[in-house]
A and B are shown apart, each in its own frame.
Chain A
Amino acid sequence: MEALNLDDAPPPQVLGQPPQQNQQLPPQMFTTAAQLLDLTDKKLMVSLRDGRKLIGVLRSWDQFANLVLQQTIERIFVPSLSPSEPGLFADVPRGIFLVRGENVTLLGEIDLDKDDDTPTGYERADVEVVHRLWRERKGREAKRERGRRARLLREVGFEGEVLGEGG
């Protein structure tokens, strides 16, 4: 540590300017904490492993990327099935979230200039409508997936009760 003395002149600092940054970045710059520090109190889009999209203000976090989000909304997207029609999206108010880090895939800082823009090819719609469409779509996909899985299992010799989700 540097030996400082009361008689030393204070470090030169220009008013209104931050202190000069070291050209060689110190190793603590490369921790998860340092990476999340400058996202704190920012409005973020958090994409979860199950495909959900949360938008909220990052208030706290730790080294595992466990996150606390405030004023969170969940944004549900339903892509359109034909190129001539726009997809739909809606926001559901959710409140405060504590997200366990393992479920996070990506955090994006929202550009506040573009925040109110509607995503290309999408239109805002009523929450009820979007939610119903989304559930129908999910249900159909799950059914198709069950069918596919059953067929694959049958091909390799599994039969009867072993098929399907329950087992």
Chain B
Amino acid sequence: MAQITESTRSEVKEIVLEFFAEECEVEVSEISEKSNIIGDLDGDSLMFLELIEIFKKKYSLNIELKTIGKYAVKNPVKTIGELIDMQMLIIEHENNILDL
């Protein structure tokens, strides 16, 4: 389980914003925590999966994709801010996220 520090959220936010800026061909400054992932950024599930792979590597996470899928079905995310919060929970709880 990764160590969560005060700077973790800003680190996660930076990665998420840069990822979406590159994938969606927009400037980072055009994305905010209120941006709608599908409506504003044309995001998709595969993008979400790719982002999870990035975090799995960065924080050496032990979590199965389908565990995240099960969590996401019950706790859908629509905005970048909600996505960052979900990534924080994934980093903090890994496979135990379903127990939350």
A and B held together in a complex: no
Interface residues of B (CB under 8 A from A): none
Interface residues of A (CB under 8 A from B): none
